Amino acid sequence: MNAADAPYRIAPPAISPGACVGIVAPAGAVRRDEVEAGIARLEAAGFRVRVGAALWRRLGYLAGSDAERVRDLTEMFLDPAVDAVFAARGGYGCTRLLPLLDPQLLRSHAKIFVGSSDCTALLQFLVDHCGIVAFHGPVVATLAGREEALTGLLKVLAGSHDTTVRLPRILRGGHAEGVLRGGCLSILTSLLGTPFAPKEQRTVWFFEDVNEPPYRIDRMLTQWSQAGCWRGTTGVLWGEMMGCTGPEGSWDVWEVIAQHTEPLGVPVAVGLPSGHGANTLTLPLGVHVRLAEESLQFLEPCVVPNGIA
């Protein structure tokens, strides 16, 4: 692959028990009991926790003003005592922050960022605009009682995870390589036509969503096709699509997905346990991967052991 196909991205330093995790709320206002329960699980796993100044703020449906949420996120990246940054929850609000972030500043202080759902906007920004590997994984508010998800997350962030993941169901077989990018489909679709839209490159896309009926998935994928956003796509992975059901007798979500991805002529797999499900698989975005028959293979490290390049 040439440089245009594989832009240089920074794999952030790995973390292990004893590291300090910064908790921020870049989107919706949080429920304190849920976030505190998640923090307790991180502390029980041996991590120190630092919370952002605006974590408990509420401004309408947001966790404080845009300026407060940007300040928390940026300060956590700049603070040398903080080893990784975890999102407290999703909700809505991350896209409001994108014009206020300094990509060069974040890149020069690259570290682990974990989030999902609405935080897809930040993951996409970190991967495409900052050149940092970012992590699609469980938010802090969901960690209590989800031991498998937490264990898997910490393995990925320590660099001790399996480099091959079995794909539950294949819609179209074959082999493909590219950069793994993606997240919540509705959030990625909201970025189309903006300066923060995904850049064209050789990509294995990962998509998931929650509580979106099939006709809305159809509408979003129609927009991707009509906007020419599939250029460079080498493969497509789909998460569990929790609650994405419609009335009896209509197409189900997998039929809609099959209709839209079949013309691409690339490998397609569905049902990967990552997204809004109970046993969320953490996926490093911005790394090179290979789809080979029934497996997803990570071809490069997503973190640097002990922070040594």
Residues with a catalytic annotation lie at 117, 208, 276
Cα–Cα nearest to 179, from 42, 23, 7, 50: 7
CB–CB of 58/40 below 8 Å? no
Tokens of 172: 């179209």
HSE-up of 297 (CA within 13 Å, CB side)?
10
193 phi, psi to nearest 5 deg: 85, 5
Helix axes 214-226, 253-261, angle to 10 degrees: 10
Residue 174, amino acid:
G
Shortest CA distance to 292 belongs to which of 204, 187, 199, 200? 204
Among 165, 145, 167, smallest CA distance to 155 is for: 165
Encoded tokens for 94: 């991350």
Beta strand segments in the chain, E: 20-24, 48-51, 84-87, 112-115, 134-136, 164-166, 169-172, 175-184, 203-208, 233-238, 268-270, 283-285, 288-292, 295-298
